[in-house]
Every structure is written in structure tokens, then in C-alpha cells.
Structure 1
Amino acid sequence: MEEMIPFKSLHSREYQGHKKKVHSVAWNCTGTKLASGSVDQTARIWHIEAHGHSKVKDMELKGHTDSVDQLCWDPKHSDLVATASGDKSVRLWDARSGKCTQQAELSGENINITYKSDGTHIAVGNRDDELTILDVRKFKPLHRRKFNYEVNEISWNISGDLFFLTTGLGTVEVLSYPSLHRRDTLTAHTAGCYCIAIDPKGRYFAVGSADSLVSLWDISDMLCLRTFTKLEWPVRTISFNYTGDYVASASEDLFIDISNVQTGRTVHQIPCRAAMNSVEWNPKYNLLAYAGDDKNPKYNADEGVFRIFGFESS
């Protein structure tokens, strides 16, 4: 019987540094740093202490000339982070110095980026439904493929031999890796599939859709186990916690849903003031970072904030 976390007694803290709205938040592999990417053309690195209340230091990563839409950390190196931007470039940064160490110019506006779990390859998706796979060492494209349907979020499985694409057709394409031959097409939802998350234990993946449902799949037999039905708007972002017991999902609903993976039941809802763009659980603790379209009510301007839920009251 799993132990219930007393989510009700936990609260959120707000972090402000960006000048415009935050599109993406991601934790490094040790759970000590968080990166945020913003419409203000920068990314920032924040040192977060799980239980401490110390003043948070942050560092700005400057160089992109358009919105930083998604970012991800090297799964094997706690100080390397990759950013994908609308300026058509992908950059690799050292979070200790704040310097860009590698840069690749690609063919379109980049909206999705993900690392292979061994840290050797990065996959990037753009607005033209083109997938590029980069070798991290040389920072050169290994594969390029254009799809004739809408490709949304992308991900490898934990072992790196499968590659997933969520599509505007309501399907999940499962490709063998590295061949990129199609292995399976899963008819997952009645509307476009927007986002995908892999359970850190490698048992499941979850898919969020425009039909407002989240579906949970067994990764070994590719069968749908259950759906989560709490949200009423298209699901934009999902994440499993570090034990794989909980899945967080968010949309334009004014709450983030946290559900028990085994029962499908909601265990907590985090209220929020705007549509959410990104939720991500810390890989070591039950801390959930989230960012959305928050506006300052006084000026009706983007707030440029993100929040982290899971702190105990001091």
C-alpha cells in the first residue's frame, strides 16, 4: 500500500527573473538546479535547495535572438543544459560559467528538445514538423526527417531503443532507434496528442491530448491502462514524479492536477492563475516546478515568473 504524501500541507514559492512569460522549466539530473526558458529570449539557471530557505542565486544565459521555447538538461551531467529557440538555433550551455559551449543552426523554428538517456544524442522538433537528431559531441545532425503530419512532443524511452512522437492525428508514433523505422502507431486520443512523459522507472508513459484527457500506457506491451479525466481543456504539459507514483498534468484549467498513477484518482490540485506551459517534477524530491501565462493584474503584462510546489511551511 503506497504511502500518501500530505500534499495539502505543502505550498508554492514564486521565482521571478524573466521579463516575459516562461515557456519551459526543467530540473538537472541531481535535482539541485532548475533551468527556465522564456519569451524574453533568455534562459536562467536557479540553484534550488529542497529544504533550505536561502536566497536563490540565478544566472542568465544570453545569446538567443528569439523565444527560448524548450530546454532540457544532460541526463548524465548536472551542469550542461540545451536550449531550443525560435531563432532556429540549438545551444548547449555550461551552467557553471553561463557560457554557450556548442551551437547548431537548424532549418526551422525549434519548439521541442529532448536528450537520450545516456546523454549522447539530442532530438529537436520544429514548427515545420521536422525532426533533427544531433550528436552531442560534434553537435552535428545525425538524422533529419520531415513528417507530413503535425509532430508535437518527442521522447526516447529509458533504454534509448525506442523514440516516441506525439502527433496532431491523435496518435503516438513509436519508432525503433537508431533506425527510426516505425514500430507501432498507437491510436491514443480522439484529438491531437500534445505532450508525452516517460515514467522514471521505465514502466509507463503518459500522453496528454487536446481532448483534455491524459492516457497512461504500459511501455512493454503498448496498451492503454487508464485515463485521467480531471482537466477540461487541452492538456499542454505532463510529468511523473521521481518514484513514478504520481503524474501532474496541466492545461488552461486554473489548477494543476496531481493524480495517483495506480488508481487514477486525484490526490491534490494546485491552484494557478493562468494557463500552464510547463510542469516538471524534481528527479529526487517531490518538488513540482510550473510556469504559465501569468499576467500582472495591475499592468496586464507578462509576469515572467515560475513557481515550485512542495515546500513545507516554515
Structure 2
Amino acid sequence: MEETIPFKNLYSREYQGHKKKVHSVAWNCTGTKLASGSVDQTARIWYIEPHGHGKVKDIELKGHSDSVDQLCWDPKHADLIATASGDKTVRLWDARSGKCSQQAELSGENINITFKPDGSHIAVGNRDDELTILDVRKFKALHKRKFNYEVNEIAWNVTGDMFFLTTGNGTVEVLAYPSLQAVNTLMAHTAGCYCIAIDPLGRYFAVGSADSLVSLWNIKEMLCVRTFTKLEWPVRTVSFNHTGEYIASASEDLFIDISNVQTGRSVHQIPCRAAMNSVEWNPKYNLLAYAGDDKNKYQADEGVFRIFGFESA
């Protein structure tokens, strides 16, 4: 039995600017700007008012020579954003000017990127299962480590003293930070773990897997407290809302599931027309940005992302 939707004034908006599909969407720390990264080799910055419907201004970030697979904002600076690309570079941009301020050439095609919560370091994962930690000020590599198993999405906990790797073995590897010493191997899923999200209140982390489940873990005890079972395809992306009350997850199913974190119940589903690549909640409002493999009627990539919003009842 689905709960009645505890939301009012549901709305949805579409934003189009990219020429090819969007791989990644991310909000800045103040929730005023959204970035999108695309197969068209660009990222874009969008100024989005939470309840406004006016013309949206966007800035194009140009310079990569391959797909922008993931991007992330500086958690302490509302105008600094890092992009990871298949062209083997990581770039730091000023979102006001659209100019690239730093660039690091790494050894492989970059697919995952995340900032340490204090904004001091960036972790990057590539297709060769190599992890690089960059010092943000010097934009130089502090650590490099190659793993002999498939490494997918990566994340720090909110205090920055633990680092998580999701793996193709169905495990989550927990490392101490900054030593990167192994602390724990969590047998999380029966198939590869693809994505991870950290609860903004620091209580939980969630892991999405190829087995179509999302598992919720108590971060203190490193125990799985529940699973979310609505999706039927491999889970590609997960995100907690700003209050830690809801979790969104998406896959190749033609909907995004929003579930209550405490009860595990599905409270709303957003229909979509294609597999989703990225979902992310705004850090201040109940706005969910999402993007996927949408095609237009000519079967070309649409290059759009959408935002779903609501007010709590």
C-alpha cells in the first residue's frame, strides 16, 4: 500500500541546453545553481529560483575534449565546481565567469568525482579502477591508488574521516581518511554496487546496486537497517533530500522512486521516459534534479534535465 503523497503543489520543469544526453546533475551548496554535465563535452551552470518560473540564465563551461561524466561543487564555495571527463583531465571552474581556473591531467578516463566536505580535497575515480586524491589549492595529486577490483562511485562521510568505495564485488570498502587504510569491507549486495549517497545529517549512507535494491546503512554501527525494493533494474543513482527524510533512486525503470527513509515506504514516483543517469536533491529545498537517456522523436539524444519540486504538507 503506497502512502498518500505528503507533498503539495507538485511541479515539474524541463531545461534544455545540451546537444547530447546529460550524465550528471549537481546543486551548489546554497541551492541556487545547478550544474549539468553532458556527453556533448560541456558542462552548464543554471541559475534556478526555487519557486520561480522565469527565464533561466545558463553559462556554458567549454574546454573538455570528451564527455563530462560527473561533476561536483565545492561544499564551502557556491561558485567553484569540479568536472571529471573521459579526456583524462579534471578541471576546476569559476561558475560566475565560466572560466577554468585549474586543470589536472590524470592517467585514465575519469568517471567519478567528489569533494571532501571541508572543500580541501577532491577524489577522482577512473575507468581503470584508480583513485586519485587532489589537493584543491595546488591541484596536485596527494594520493594515487589502483585497485584490483571494479571501483564505482566514491564518497566521504560528513566529517571527512572515512572514505567509501562501492565495488563491482557487491561490497562497500570503508577506508580511514587521510591514511586510506582499510577499516571495513561491507558485504552489501549480491551484485555490483554502483552508487552511494550520504545522508546530510550524517546518520546513514545508501548504496544502489545492480541487484535493483537500495540498502540503507547506519554509519556508526556499519549495519544495514533496511532496503528499498521498488526498482526492478540496476540502481544507477541515489540521493537524500536536505532533511534526510526522503531518498530518491533511479535506474532503467521508467520512474524515479521517492521513499521515506525511516519507514522504507515508497511515497511518490516520478514518471520518466528513459533510464536515469543522475538524481540530486537541492540542499535547501524539496527540489529534485534528474537527467537520463531521453531521446526526442527523431531518436536523437535530447540533452535535457528536469526538476521536480513540492512543498511539504
The question of whether the paired residues in 2 share the 8 Å contact of 1:13 and 1:311 is answered with no
Residue of structure 2 equivalent to 1:191 = 191
| Equivalence for 1:203 | 203
Q: Do the aligned partners of 2:45 and 2:58 also contact (CA within 8 Å) in 1?
A: yes
Give 1:170's aligned amino acid: G
Please name the residue that 2:36 is paired with: 36
Name the CA distance, whole Å, in 2 between partners of 1:274 and 1:212.
16
Contact kept, 8 Å, 1:11 with 1:310, in 2: the verdict is yes
Aligned-pair CA distance for 1:8: 6.3
Contact 1:153–1:195 (Cα < 8 Å) also in 2: yes
Map Cα deviations across residues 30-64 of structure 1 (whole Å, 9 max, x no partner): 00000000000000000000011211000000000
Q: Does 1:13 align with 2:16?
A: no
Q: Distance in 2 between matches of 1:79 and 1:8?
A: 31
Q: Write out per-residue CA displacement over residues 9-40 of structure 1, whole angstroms, 9 at most, x where no aligned residue.
A: 41210000000000000000000000000000
* Rounded Cα–Cα distance in structure 2 between residues aligned with 1:36 and 1:277: 11
Contact in 1 for aligned 2:8/2:310 (Cα 8 Å): no
Superimposed CA distance per residue, residues 136-170 of structure 1 (whole angstroms, 9 cap, x where no aligned partner):
00000000000000000000000000000000000
- Residue by residue over 1:249-283, the C-alpha shift from the partner in whole angstroms, topping out at 9 and shown as x without a partner, is 00000000000000000000000000000000000
Residue equivalent to 1:271: 271
Cα separation, partners in 2 of 1:93 and 1:5, compared to 1, 3 Å: farther
Partner of 2:122: 122
In 2, the alpha carbon distance for the partners of 1:101 and 1:8 equals 42
Where in structure 1 do 4 or more consecutive aligned residues deviate above 2 Å?
4-9
Report the Cα distance in structure 2 between the residues aligned to 1:164 and 1:48, rounded to whole angstroms: 31
How far does the alpha carbon of each residue in 1:159-207 deviate from its partner, in whole angstroms, 9 at most, with x for none? 0000000000000000000000000000000000000000000000000
Provide the residue aligned with 1:224 in structure 2: 224
Counterpart in 2 of 1:70? 70
Contact 1:122–1:134 (CA under 8 A) maintained in structure 2:
yes
Task: Describe the shift of the 1:236–1:295 C-alpha distance in structure 2 as closer, same or farther (beyond 3 A).
Answer: same
Q: Which ranges of structure 1 fall in alignment gaps of 5 or more residues?
A: none
- Structure 1: how far apart are the matches of 2:96 and 2:46? 11
In the alignment, what sits opposite 1:300? Answer: 299
- Cα shift at 1:6: 3.7
Give the paired residue count: 309
Mapped to 2, the partners of 1:25 and 1:187 lie a distance apart of 29
Q: Report the 3-state secondary structure (helix = DSSP H, G, I; strand = E; otherwise coil) of the residue aligned with 1:302.
A: coil
8 A Cα contact 1:50 1:285, kept in partner: yes
- Matched residue type, 2:304: V
* SS at structure 2 position matched to 1:295: coil
How far, CA to CA, are the matches of 1:95 and 1:194 in structure 2?
29
1-structure distance, mates of 2:192, 2:8: 33
Residue 5 of structure 1 deviates from its aligned partner by 6.4
Establish whether residue 150 from structure 1 lines up as the match of residue 131 from structure 2: no
- One-letter amino acid of the counterpart of residue 167, structure 1: T
Cα separation, 2, equivalents of 1:53 and 1:249: 26
2:7 touches 2:310 (CA, 8 Å); kept in 1? no
1:72-123 deviation digits (Å, cap 9, x = unpaired) = 0000000000000000000000000000000000000000000000000000
Q: Is the 8 A contact 1:112 1:152 kept in 2?
A: yes
| Aligned equivalent of 1:79 | 79
Other-structure match for 1:286: 286
Work out the CA distance in 2 between the residues paired with 1:122 and 1:135: 7
Paired residues of 1:7 and 1:310 also in contact (CA < 8 A): no
Q: Distance in 1 between matches of 2:263 and 2:32?
A: 30
TM-score of the aligned structures, taking structure 2 as reference length: 0.97
Say yes or no: does 1:165 pair with 2:161.
no
- 1:209 partner amino acid: S
Separation in 2 of the partners of 1:255 and 1:70?
22
Alpha-carbon separation, structure 2, partners of 1:84 and 1:49: 26
Cα pair 2:135 2:142 within 8 Å, conserved: yes
Alignment partners' CA distance in 2, 1:256 and 1:211: 16
**Counterpart-to-counterpart distance in 1, 2:53 and 2:198:** 31
